[in-house]
């Protein structure tokens, strides 16, 4: 048996009664909104600073945005860059872009000016939507870009879509777009779902240069359905108007949270793949009430978990680590939480155990994916009787194959062997924009996307992510995977956060060095480099041992929750004069 997995061998890994393959309608992304507006109507879709946005109003505002864009020459083939944080106006803006037939290109609001300019230029963005507080900064980045129109929004629009901003000549107030005619002009009727880009999404750049990922409408609709059907036990269905929605197949004994009843706090940025696909489109399709948190405030997050009796929480591991440091969480009644999902980075097993104790009714699982596969490739079983294996990211979702290949290339490896995670399925990107060589290096002739991640498939088809190939260290010719050391570090009393990188060394190549965040208690204060190394090094073979420990206040992470190891690695190079 080789480690290529499309049909898990463990029955309890697959939702009972659901097929291995789904029927994906050939529809544009705007169909998701149309069906949701009809189905969920005046229910609250989003709540931002206690200000509601119903599904009905979201639809009306999105059609208004689409009409304004069309009337100003923005349509098929045109790229609209969105440079704003999560907020109440984001969903109607996003769907307005989709309904106009244009391409959504999200940008991280924290990008340095040079990086923003490079991304806008690479994307060929014709229109930019930005935040009023950073407008002067943005102006400095626009001179050499193709951007022709700048639309501005800000916190004032959270409470009132009609609020007027103080803008200079030439800038457009988002209020003008939101106030337009809400008639559905079916501007997306001519979209070629297989070829017209819905998203031009840029990779996080945590390990190198950010690249534009081309995602046609078919990819986005497909992966939204793969994810939503997996997490809710549903099948795709067309409503009476031919738009795509869900039919929940699994009953309440397996899926206690029913469609239209979920309540969620979202912190995952919508400029990130997990945000746009899972926490925007997926939530809209499923009729979820989403409480928006623009910035992460652990205390406020815990308060809202209780206040809104959320049924699910999700995000990246650093979020959960911070939540567990809030004293109030120990006293909170979290029995209403039925699901916890993690992505963007591996979730330490010790963290899963701590969360399980606080959320006794929750299924806790990880998923795995990348921007290059639209968003999701694998997921832990979310139905109650499903087998969840801590430390794994679940099994391939519908119509998805995972293959483990040797790091240098070759035939699939047997179960239990480490190798590069390769993915094949309908959600794999079309390619990298303007980079045919990079595309050819990443997607082989048989359609397998080579992820650059190191993983293992077990006998039951569950995938474990060991590390990034780019994060792997080479110590005296031996491969050292930082992820293994980080798992041990998270189990050391007093350690709140940790990341392992390499320190250049002439004799050894790279020395494993741990960056550690102490917990804010007596146990954390008592930690020393020696005590941490002793705790870790006794559990690993000699070549994997830590050679140094550096204490820092916080592990640097991206807005999407991924550890920015390049920053830590740069510190180590500086120490040795490199």
209: which residues sit within 8 A by CB, 6+ positions away? none
3-state secondary structure 514-561: EEEEECCCHHHHCCCHHHHHHHHHCCCCHHHCCCEEEECCCCCECCCC
Tell which of 216, 237, 270 closes a domain.
216
Amino acid 560: pLDDT: 66
Instruction: Name the region of 496 (left: φ>0; alpha: ψ -120 to 50; beta: rest).
Output: alpha
Domain assignment present for residue 135? The answer is yes
Range of 497's domain?
471-575
Domain assignment present for residue 92? The answer is yes
Q: Classify residue 360 by burial, with Cβ atoms within 10 Å: 0-12, 13-18, 19+.
A: exposed
Instruction: Answer yes or no: are the C-beta atoms of 291 and 266 closer than 8 Å.
Output: yes
Instruction: Answer yes or no: are the C-beta atoms of 32 and 47 closer than 8 Å.
Output: no
Tell which of 180, 199, 216 closes a domain.
216
Strand partners, 517: 497
Instruction: Answer yes or no: are the C-beta atoms of 456 and 428 closer than 8 Å.
Output: no
Give the domain CATH number at 560: 3.30.300.30
Domain assignment present for residue 18? The answer is no
Helices (H), 233-348: 273, 282-286, 298-307, 317-323
Domain count for the chain:
2
Across 162-192, b (16+ Cβ under 10 Å) vs e yields eeebeeeeebbbbbebbebebebeebbeebe
Strands (E), 37-173: 44-48, 51-54, 79-83, 103-106, 125-131, 149-153, 172-173
Task: Please tell me whether residue 487 adopts helix, strand or coil conformation.
Answer: helix
* Helices 529-537 + 482-490 axis angle, to 10: 110
Domain assignment present for residue 349? The answer is no
Amino acid 474: pLDDT: 81
Instruction: Answer yes or no: are the C-beta atoms of 440 and 454 closer than 8 Å.
Output: no
Instruction: Answer yes or no: are the C-beta atoms of 103 and 80 closer than 8 Å.
Output: yes
Domain assignment present for residue 567? The answer is yes
Domain assignment present for residue 521? The answer is yes
125: which residues sit within 8 A by CB, 6+ positions away? 79, 80, 81, 105, 145, 146, 147
- Residues recorded for the chain: 578
Sign of CA pseudo-dihedral 6, 7, 10, 15:
positive
Closest CA to 315 of 84, 63, 86, 109: 86
Domain assignment present for residue 266? The answer is no
Tens-of-pLDDT digits for all 578 residues of the chain?
455 555 555 558 999 999 999 999 999 999 999 999 999 999 999 999 999 999 999 999 999 999 999 999 999 999 999 999 999 999 999 999 999 999 999 998 888 888 899 999 999 999 999 999 999 999 989 988 999 999 999 999 999 999 999 998 899 999 999 999 999 999 999 999 999 999 999 986 544 578 999 999 999 999 999 999 999 999 999 999 999 999 999 999 999 999 999 999 999 999 999 999 999 999 999 999 999 999 989 999 999 999 999 999 998 787 888 899 899 999 999 999 999 998 766 677 888 889 999 999 999 999 999 999 999 999 999 999 999 998 899 999 999 999 999 988 899 999 999 999 999 999 999 999 999 999 999 999 999 999 999 999 999 999 998 877 778 788 877 778 888 899 899 999 999 999 999 998 887 888 999 999 999 999 999 999 999 999 999 898 888 999 999 999 999 987 767 788 889 988 998 888 75
Instruction: Answer yes or no: are the C-beta atoms of 557 and 563 closer than 8 Å.
Output: yes
Determine phi and psi for 322, rounding to 5 degrees: -65, -40
Amino acid 1: pLDDT: 41
Q: Which residue reads 């790229």 in tokens?
A: 79
Instruction: Answer yes or no: are the C-beta atoms of 222 and 242 closer than 8 Å.
Output: no
Interstrand relation of 149-153 and 125-131 (parallel, antiparallel or unpaired): parallel
Strands (E), 397-534: 401-405, 419-424, 431-432, 449-457, 463-468, 473-475, 478-480, 495-505, 509-518
Give the domain CATH number at 147: 3.40.50.12780
- Report the distance separating Cα 464 and Cα 453, nearest Å: 10
Domain assignment present for residue 285? The answer is no
Instruction: Answer yes or no: are the C-beta atoms of 70 and 63 closer than 8 Å.
Output: no
Tell which of 216, 234, 252 closes a domain.
216
577: which residues sit within 8 A by CB, 6+ positions away? none
């Amino acid at each position: 048996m080789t480690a290529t997995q499309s049909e898990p061998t463990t029955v309890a890994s697959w939702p009972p009664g659901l097929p291995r393959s789904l029927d994906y309608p050939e529809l544009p992304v705007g169909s998701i909104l149309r069906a949701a507006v009809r189905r969920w109507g005046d229910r609250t879709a989003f709540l931002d600073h206690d200000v509601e946005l119903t599904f009905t109003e979201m639809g009306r505002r999105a059609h208004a945005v689409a009409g304004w864009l069309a009337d100003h020459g923005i349509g098929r083939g045109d790229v609209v860059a969105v440079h704003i944080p999560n907020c109440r106006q984001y969903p109607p803006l996003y769907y307005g872009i989709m309904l106009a037939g244009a391409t959504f290109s999200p940008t991280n609001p924290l990008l340095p000016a040079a990086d923003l300019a490079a991304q806008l230029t690479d994307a060929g963005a014709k229109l930019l939507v930005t935040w009023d507080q950073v407008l002067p900064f943005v102006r400095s980045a626009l001179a050499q870009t193709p951007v022709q129109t700048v639309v501005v929004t800000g916190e004032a629009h959270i409470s009132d879509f009609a609020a007027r901003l103080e803008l200079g000549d030439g800038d457009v107030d988002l209020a003008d777009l939101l106030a337009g005619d809400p008639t559905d002009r079916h501007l997306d009727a001519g979209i070629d779902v297989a070829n017209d880009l819905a998203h031009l999404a840029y990779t996080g750049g945590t390990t190198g240069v950010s690249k534009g990922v081309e995602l046609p409408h078919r990819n986005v609709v497909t992966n939204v359905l793969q994810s939503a059907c997996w997490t809710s036990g549903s099948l795709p269905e067309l409503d009476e108007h031919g738009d795509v929605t869900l039919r929940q197949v699994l009953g309440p004994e397996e899926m206690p949270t029913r469609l239209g009843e979920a309540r969620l706090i979202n912190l995952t940025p919508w400029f990130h793949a997990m945000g746009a696909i899972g926490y925007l489109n997926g939530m809209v399709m499923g009729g979820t009430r989403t409480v928006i948190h623009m910035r992460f405030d652990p205390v406020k997050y815990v308060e809202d978990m209780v206040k809104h009796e959320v049924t699910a929480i999700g995000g990246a591991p650093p979020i959960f680590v911070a939540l567990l440091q809030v004293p109030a969480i120990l006293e909170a009644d979290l029995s209403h939480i039925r699901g916890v999902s993690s992505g963007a980075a591996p979730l330490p097993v010790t963290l899963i155990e701590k969360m399980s104790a606080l959320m006794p009714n929750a299924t806790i699982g990880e998923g795995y994916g990348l921007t290059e596969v639209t968003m999701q490739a694998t997921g832990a079983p979310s139905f109650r009787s499903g087998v969840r294996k801590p430390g794994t990211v679940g099994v391939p979702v519908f119509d998805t194959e995972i293959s483990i290949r040797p790091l240098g290339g070759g035939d699939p490896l047997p179960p239990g062997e480490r190798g590069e995670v390769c993915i094949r399925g309908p959600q794999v990107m079309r390619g990298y924009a303007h980079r045919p060589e990079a595309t050819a290096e990443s997607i082989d002739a048989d359609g397998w996307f080579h992820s650059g991640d190191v993983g293992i498939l077990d006998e039951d088809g569950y995938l474990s992510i060991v590390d990034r190939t780019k994060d792997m260290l080479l110590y005296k010719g031996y491969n050292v995977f930082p992820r293994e050391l980080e798992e041990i570090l998270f189990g050391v009393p007093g350690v709140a956060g940790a990341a392992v990188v390499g320190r250049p060394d002439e004799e050894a190549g790279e020395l494993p060095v741990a960056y550690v965040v102490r917990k804010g208690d007596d146990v954390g204060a008592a930690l020393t480099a020696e005590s941490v190394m002793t705790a870790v090094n006794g559990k690993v073979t000699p070549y994997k041992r830590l050679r140094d420990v550096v204490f820092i206040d916080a592990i640097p992470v991206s807005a999407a929750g991924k550890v920015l190891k390049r920053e830590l690695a740069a510190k180590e190079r500086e120490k040795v004069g490199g």
